[in-house]
A and B are shown apart, each in its own frame.
Chain A
């Protein structure tokens, strides 16, 4: 579903992502971890087509994000770290705009909008202008918009920022259900507990390089630290003492 094929991205003389090769199959929830400045945001931006790789290729469902971005975007849903909405549109109008952009037929769009409004408990404020929303409400609306077209791949950049505990639970349950149905999730996060709870595999990125790729059990095995938490393992890897790929 997602392929990073020897992807390198440089900013002038600085290499933000170095020779990243990664394949994430259908139905997997993948969590990308790493300290600030590790290259996670650059990786996500390349995955959603906002940044072009300096070398290599990024593909979603076989569609190259540079050569055929529109086809790739049809398979993609994206929840950015800062939700972007139109202040002067209501939540429902925003959902309709997204549904229309994906070319969804009216009837299906109505059903899907109702479904997501219901899932994310947006009913109370769906007809208010977005300018009156709190950060959490905005984030829930963006989640709803990203799932309207039932994407094959969902990309999440720090998805839990601004969400209250109930919304976090809703999102976690939804992600678990959708991945069971075959949706692939690529998530960048600093919330290690969530990665530990949800992710099938994790990648730990340090200074543009993927230091570790595998399950948490494999990480424990590799680090020879059987009963430690993911936090301790993560700190070990990112401190540079272990976990070379």
Chain B
């Protein structure tokens, strides 16, 4: 082995602190540039995000104030249990979400590849990517937790120290599950690379089964005695599993409860605050220790794990649905074959893109889980109908996020393949139609099944189910039309990242129009139906026996509502698609 060469002139290895400082400076510059470009290029999106976040925060705050006022008056002892359950659930979710984000940031990003070729410590890169992962995984916790805890403080008339310690308690808590997620991720990749997918699958399955089991045990017999004192007692007994003193979620709950305690005696107040600070110290100490451990694991495992992962050969993919592709490509008239082949291609891409179908499966799976539990509550007929429409709106809103995120960028992404598509014997219209059919047909099945499930669980009558299904079909058609039409009208052919395409002006506009369309459709169907049901359940006097309300609450009102729904659906489909087709025909790639 040859001797070591002296260092090149004027370069030196940095200390860990200097490396961290540089990463913080980098992050600040990137954040500032992102905000600046959003302020200049995406004002609509930024304003919407701020406005909707504010509305969401205010709505949550109001809801929590009401809830805590009710509980404070009747069942103050329940609050500790609620906090424990809420924070324990978040703790589990934060472990998974941070683990996945650390994996993506440290092992799959091009930035990691750049940083690993620089003279930087592995633990400094880890700290940089960990901060990023923690921010992305916990902003939801802050958005959800801050109105809840502020409302709790207001209802309990907590003194100012409560508001001072609230944020440090939350932040130090978040570090604990996030560090655990990071340690699990780096360990799995470095020493059990083959096991990481299995570990993730097992972890998610265990968490889902536990959540299902808990939900089932709470609601399975609910028809008999739901919301009774005995039911509450049983439920609380089951949830008390989250009140373990070794759980950081318990430390957080107790820290908050102690800080919010109002005592007349000053020394008692000081004692409560001191208790709260002890829990804060406990959280900070554990957060620091786990952070240190996560850094240490990264130091010995990151480069090794990166090398392992880079060296892996992707498993040969099985294609169990090839028969389906073949059938779709061949069945039907020959003239429609190019269109069907485009559909087969899009379907294959969807199947093989785990980020698309996994998000689809998770969101619709969770909705299905919620709908399955609807039977537990006994609703009156009109109330059940209202819940049914709200569920319909939720299905539509979730679908609109998918059409905006995944369907809207499809035309833009085809722009990069224009040299292939442009040489094929295809009319450009067929490309647009194939995207529309892919989205419409693909969303129809899951959405209609979910709406049917919700209605069956709510015990809604068949004529109403038919109306809900009609709305659902129109929503699927309209949302697909909006996403594909606007995607063709405002394509971004230079951008390769679908998330960047969908977060631009066109994507935001598509999401806003989709939301308005959903609201209009659901309102058009729900108002007459609701008035009709109210007049039949509670008597016409409730609705008013004269005028427009009586007409709207009658049979003709329901028919008119259904016609408006169809009209809205057709408009939302035809107008954007026409605009999109025209623009796409003129497009110069």
Partners in one complex: yes
| Cβ-defined contact, A101 with B22, below 8 A | yes
- B340 proximal to A (CB < 8 A): no
- A62 proximal to B (CB < 8 A): yes
- B304 proximal to A (CB < 8 A): yes
Which residues on the B side are within 8 Å of A48 (C-beta)?
117
Q: Which of B7-15, B153-161, B236-244 interfaces with chain A? A: B7-15
CA–CA, A225 to B313, complex, Å?
39
B24 to chain A, nearest CB (A): 12
- A159 proximal to B (CB < 8 A): no
- Chain B 277-308: CB-based contact to A (< 8 A → 1; otherwise 0): 00000000000000000000000000110110
| Cβ-defined contact, A152 with B5, below 8 A | yes
CA–CA, A107 to B551, complex, Å?
82
CA–CA, A101 to B29, complex, Å?
16
| Cβ-defined contact, A103 with B13, below 8 A | yes
CA–CA, A104 to B33, complex, Å?
25
| Cβ-defined contact, A103 with B14, below 8 A | yes
| Cβ-defined contact, A149 with B8, below 8 A | yes
From B2, B26, B303, A59 is in contact (CB under 8 Å) with B2
B497 to chain A, nearest CB (A): 10
Which residues on the A side are within 8 Å of B306 (C-beta)?
50
- B126 proximal to A (CB < 8 A): no
Which residues on the A side are within 8 Å of B307 (C-beta)?
50-52
| Cβ-defined contact, A50 with B310, below 8 A | yes
Which residues on the A side are within 8 Å of B13 (C-beta)?
70-71, 74, 103
Which residues on the A side are within 8 Å of B18 (C-beta)?
103
Which residues on the A side are within 8 Å of B11 (C-beta)?
74, 102-104, 149
- B263 proximal to A (CB < 8 A): no
| Cβ-defined contact, A11 with B303, below 8 A | no
CA–CA, A9 to B13, complex, Å?
29
B314 to chain A, nearest CB (A): 10
B477 to chain A, nearest CB (A): 36
- A243 proximal to B (CB < 8 A): no
| Cβ-defined contact, A50 with B113, below 8 A | yes
| Cβ-defined contact, B12 with A103, below 8 A | yes
- B3 proximal to A (CB < 8 A): yes
- Chain A 38-50: CB-based contact to B (< 8 A → 1; otherwise 0): 0000000100111
- Which residues of chain A from 34 to 77 have any CB-CB distance to chain B below 8 Å in the complex? 45, 48-52, 59, 61-63, 66, 69-71, 73-76
Q: Which of A86-94, A116-124, A168-176 interfaces with chain B? A: A86-94
A102 to chain B, nearest CB (A): 5
| Cβ-defined contact, A52 with B304, below 8 A | yes
B23 to chain A, nearest CB (A): 10
B161 to chain A, nearest CB (A): 40
Most buried by A among B13, B33, B118, B304: B118
CA–CA, A97 to B34, complex, Å?
18
| Cβ-defined contact, A71 with B119, below 8 A | yes
Which residues on the A side are within 8 Å of B120 (C-beta)?
70, 73, 101
CA–CA, A5 to B313, complex, Å?
24
| Cβ-defined contact, A12 with B8, below 8 A | no
- B4 proximal to A (CB < 8 A): yes
From A3, A80, A86, A149, B1 is in contact (CB under 8 Å) with A3
- Which residues of chain A from 108 to 129 have any CB-CB distance to chain B below 8 Å in the complex? 108, 129
| Cβ-defined contact, A98 with B110, below 8 A | no
Given A50-B310, A52-B303, A88-B37, also A62-B3 (CB < 8 A):
yes
Given A50-B117, A102-B11, also A89-B1 (CB < 8 A):
no
- B311 proximal to A (CB < 8 A): yes
- A150 proximal to B (CB < 8 A): yes
- B121 proximal to A (CB < 8 A): yes
CA–CA, A98 to B14, complex, Å?
12
| Cβ-defined contact, A45 with B12, below 8 A | no
| Cβ-defined contact, A100 with B2, below 8 A | no
CA–CA, A10 to B307, complex, Å?
12
- Which residues of chain A from 183 to 206 have any CB-CB distance to chain B below 8 Å in the complex? none
| Cβ-defined contact, B5 with A75, below 8 A | yes
CA–CA, A138 to B13, complex, Å?
27
CA–CA, A212 to B12, complex, Å?
38
CA–CA, A62 to B2, complex, Å?
6
| Cβ-defined contact, B22 with A97, below 8 A | yes
| Cβ-defined contact, A97 with B26, below 8 A | yes
- B225 proximal to A (CB < 8 A): no
| Cβ-defined contact, A51 with B1, below 8 A | no
| Cβ-defined contact, A74 with B8, below 8 A | yes
- A163 proximal to B (CB < 8 A): no
- Considering the complex, give the chain A residue whose CB is closest to the CB of B19: A101
Most buried by B among A1, A10, A84, A89: A84
Which residues on the A side are within 8 Å of B7 (C-beta)?
74-75
List 6 interface pairs A-B (beta carbons < 8 Å), by A numbering: A51-B311, A62-B4, A89-B30, A101-B19, A104-B10, A150-B9
With A50-B113, A50-B306 already in contact, 15 other A-B pairs whose C-beta atoms are closer than 8 Å: A5-B1, A11-B313, A12-B312, A50-B307, A51-B307, A52-B304, A70-B121, A73-B120, A74-B12, A74-B119, A80-B117, A82-B110, A101-B118, A102-B11, A108-B10
